[in-house]
């Protein structure tokens, strides 16, 4: 249904319809969708321990699908071992004008310029607090998937105002860190003006320090902190981010976000031009995402968790990322094209392959 019907309707409307159906089907999918056998990143099938957290298996859902933390457990019931919500900004914002989400079926790709549309940190924090009340304290290891919270810059905060940017991220961290199993600083979406400028080491270091400090202030435990980077960084900048991550003691790096490149697409160039600006995800990002992963793995201490995302669709894709040094995997676009049974199918395929070795 996803590939034959939803790709022929407005992409954003289709997304909301599909997500509503997923949430409504939770009582069924919680019995049918979850993998029977968890899978480890390396070695025999089993849970993955990363950043001090026990993940049921390697595969998670990348940020962008559940922006407002409304379907965490429904998505977990489909077989995702972790769900990363957001990107959440300090203030609520509507995002960019529609249409802003487009499918490129010939490339198994998606272009989005959503612009961090979300309910804002205060509303999302209230939602997560209610989930915690239903499920129990974090120390008791809540049921459901491991929860990541991805935070980004409010559009109206000028990137040129360094103090305002830090205050905006600190607000989100202060409200959301108490409810997160891990926290991600997103400085790599192409859809918020100036955001990618924050990937420069000079801007990124004080930002990560501020978020780390604020998260520690509002929690009685250390919430792991990661940074998500773009595939469009050149190799030297990737290595500079890796060095910074090591120096700051970050818990992980997520590689990669969407790309602004349109090279090598099968979709007609006029169609691509009409779609316009936005981040491209899916199969066209596969090779660069893998290259960035290998760069990071070669530079970082093994204690830093690498999360690979970008063009991952098949068991072979997953295996190549794990062999290249990823500890965890995430996907988004493959889920859109392959449908709700895809996550459990991929995890079972990985488990079967590793069991046969």
* Residues classed as catalytic: 189
The binding site for FMN comprises 63-67, 87, 150, 186, 228, 256, 282, 311, 332-333
The binding site for substrate comprises 67, 112-116, 186, 191, 257-258
The binding site comprises 63-67, 87, 112-116, 150, 186, 191, 228, 256-258, 282, 311, 332-333
Q: Are 348 and 45 in contact (CB under 8 A)?
A: no
Bond preceding residue 99 cis, omega within 30 of 0: yes
Pairing label, strands 101-104, 109-112: antiparallel
Chain center to CA of 82 = 10
Pairing label, strands 182-186, 146-152: parallel
Name the phi and psi angles at 4, rounded to 5. -90, -30
């Amino acid at each position: 249904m996803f590939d034959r019907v939803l790709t022929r309707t407005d992409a954003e409307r289709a997304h909301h319809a599909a997500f509503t159906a997923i949430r409504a089907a939770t009582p069924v999918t919680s019995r049918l969708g979850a993998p029977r056998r968890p899978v480890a990143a390396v070695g025999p099938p089993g849970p993955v321990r990363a950043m001090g957290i026990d993940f049921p298996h390697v595969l998670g859902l990348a940020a962008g699908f559940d922006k407002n933390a409304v379907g965490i457990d429904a998505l977990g019931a489909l077989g995702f071992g972790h769900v990363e919500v957001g990107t959440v900004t300090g203030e609520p914002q509507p995002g960019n004008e529609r249409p802003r989400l487009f499918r490129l079926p010939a490339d198994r790709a998606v272009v989005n310029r959503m612009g961090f549309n979300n309910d804002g940190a205060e509303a999302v924090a209230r939602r997560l607090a209610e989930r915690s009340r239903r499920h129990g304290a974090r120390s008791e290891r809540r049921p459901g998937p491991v929860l990541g919270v991805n935070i980004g810059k409010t559009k109206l905060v000028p990137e040129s105002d360094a103090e305002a940017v830090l205050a905006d991220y600190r607000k989100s961290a202060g409200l959301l860190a108490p409810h997160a199993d891990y926290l991600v600083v997103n400085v790599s979406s192409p859809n918020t003006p100036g955001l990618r400028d924050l990937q420069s080491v000079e801007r990124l270091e004080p930002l990560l320090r501020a978020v780390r400090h604020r998260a520690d202030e509002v929690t009685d435990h250390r919430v792991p902190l990661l940074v998500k980077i773009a595939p469009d960084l050149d190799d030297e900048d990737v290595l500079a981010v890796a060095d910074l991550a090591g120096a700051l003691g970050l818990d992980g790096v997520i590689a990669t976000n969407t790309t602004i490149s349109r090279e090598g697409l099968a979709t007609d160039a006029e169609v691509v031009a009409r779609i316009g600006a936005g981040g491209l995800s899916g199969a066209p990002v596969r090779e660069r995402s893998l290259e960035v992963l290998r760069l990071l793995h070669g530079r970082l201490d093994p204690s830093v968790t690498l999360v690979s995302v970008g063009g991952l669709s098949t068991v072979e894709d997953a295996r190549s990322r794990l062999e290249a040094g990823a500890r965890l995997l995430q996907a988004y676009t493959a889920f859109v094209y392959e449908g709700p049974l895809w996550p459990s199918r991929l995890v079972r395929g990985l488990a079967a392959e590793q069991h046969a070795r």
